[in-house]
Amino acid sequence: MSRKFFGTDGIRGRTNEAPMTAEMALRVGQAAGARFLRGDHRHRVVIGKDTRLSGYMMESALVAGFTSVGMDVVMVGPMPTPAIAMLVRSMRADLGVMISASHNPFYDNGIKLFGPDGYKLSDEDEAEIEGMIEAGVELVASEKIGRARRIDDARGRYIHFAKSTFPEHLRLDGLKVVIDCAHGAAYSVAPEALWELGAETVALGVSPNGTNINDGVGSTAPKLLQERVVSEGADIGIALDGDADRVIIVDEKGTVIDGDQLMALIGVSWANSGLLCGDGIVATVMSNLGLERFLASRDLKLIRAAVGDRYVLETMRNGGYNVGGEQSGHIILSDYVTTGDGLVAALQILACLVESGKPASELLRQFEPLPQLLKNVRFDGGQPLEATSVKAAIADGESRLNGTGRILIRKSGTEPLIRVMAEGEDEKLVHEVVDSICDAVKAA
C-alpha cells in the first residue's frame, strides 16, 4: 500500500522541512483525533516524546490539533516509546503518540501513533489518516474543545512495569552494568530500574541537552560503551537508542552483541522453560542465516517478516509467537509488550546472565554468524533499483553466490537510503558482491 507521509515507523523527517513541520503535526493531531473519536465517552490521547529540541514544538502543535477536534490530551514528557504503548492501555486512552526519530540525529523528528490496544496503527488506519490530513477535518464547537494536562508520575509507572517483567526470584546484586541511554528518552527510567533491582550501575548518555541525542552514544554508536565496560571491569553493557525501543548488548570483553544473538538466547531460554509459544521466533529478512540454522538445530523455527518491528509483530500475532525482533535490536516480547522495548529485553538478558552464572562473553555467543555485510547508499530521488545496470549487478551477485548465501536489496522506510545486504560462506565474496551492487546503485 503506497503512503505519502507514513513510512515503516510513522512519519519522520528533518524538522521544519516537509513533512516534519509544526503545521503537519497540527494536521496529524486533528486527523488522528477525528479518526479515533468513537462513542460518547471523553476521548483521551497520551503524548510522549524523546529529548530532541524540536519535541516541544511538535508537542504543542499536536496538542492543538487533538484538542481542536475534542480530544483530551495527557502529556507525559520524555518517555520511551514502549512506555507510551503501555500507558495507552493502562490509562484507557483512545490513542497514543510518541514524538521521536528513534536513532536519527537531533535535527530529525518523527510521529509514531498507537491505537487504544497499545499496538502501532495498521497500514489501513495510517492510509485513512493520510486522506483526512489532505482533506481536512471538521473542528468541534468551542464548548467541546479538549483539555490538556501533564502528569508527573508516568516515569514511576513505567519503571514499575519494566521491573514486573523481571523474574521475581532473581536480583541483580553483585552485577556491574554500564547503561548507555543515548541522551534519549530512557535517560532517567533505565538506570533507575536497574538500580532498584540491585545492580551497580554506571550510566552514560544521561545528560540530554536537546541536541546531543544519539551523538556518539547509544545503540548505533557503541564505541564509548565498549570502552567503559572494559575500563570499569563491568559484567555487561546495555545500549538503548533515542526512544529506547531497541537494545544492543556489550559483553565484559567489549564485544558488541546484536539482536540476532539476543533473540537466540531468549528464544532458547524460554523454550527450555516452557514459555516459548509457536516453537519458534519471528525475525526479519535481515537476520543472519546462522540464526536460522542455530534454531533448526534445536527443533525451533525462524519465521521471517518484512523489515520493521510492526511487521514482525503482525507476523507474531498471526502465528501465535511471543518472541520476535530485528537484528538491529528491536526485540518484542509479546507476553509483556506490544512493541519493541529495549529495557524489557535487556532485563530478560540479565535474568539469563544471573541464572547461568556464566560470563556474558560465553553466554551471549549463541551461534556463529555467517559472514554478512550491509551497506547503505544514499540517493536523491528516482528509482535506482529499476535501472538495468543495477538489476544486472544483482543477478551477477546471485550467480556468484551460487546458492551458498543470499542478497537482499531494499529501500529504507525512514531515510533516503538503499540498503544492500549479502551473506554467505565466503566472506571475501560477500564483500565483492555488496561493493559491486553499491557501485551500480551509485552510478544509477
Query: Could you give the residue numbers annotated as active site?
Result: 102
Sheet bearing 256-257, strands edge to edge? 200-204, 176-180, 236-240, 247-251, 256-257
DSSP notation for 230-293: HHHT-SEEEEE-TTSS-EEEEETTS-EE-HHHHHHHHHHHHHHTT--STTEEEEETTS-HHHHH
- Give CA–CA dist 233/155, Å, rounded: 30
349, containing H or E segment? helix 342-356
- Give CA–CA dist 336/339, Å, rounded: 9
DSSP annotation of 301 reads E
Is 100 within 8 Å of 52 (Cβ atoms)?
A: yes
CB atoms within 10 A of CB 47: 28
Q: Nearest to residue 331, comparing CAs of 260, 394, 269?
A: 260
Is 36 within 8 Å of 94 (Cβ atoms)?
A: yes
Question: Grid coordinates standing for 38?
Answer: 468513537
Parallel/antiparallel/unpaired status of strands 323-325 and 331-333: antiparallel
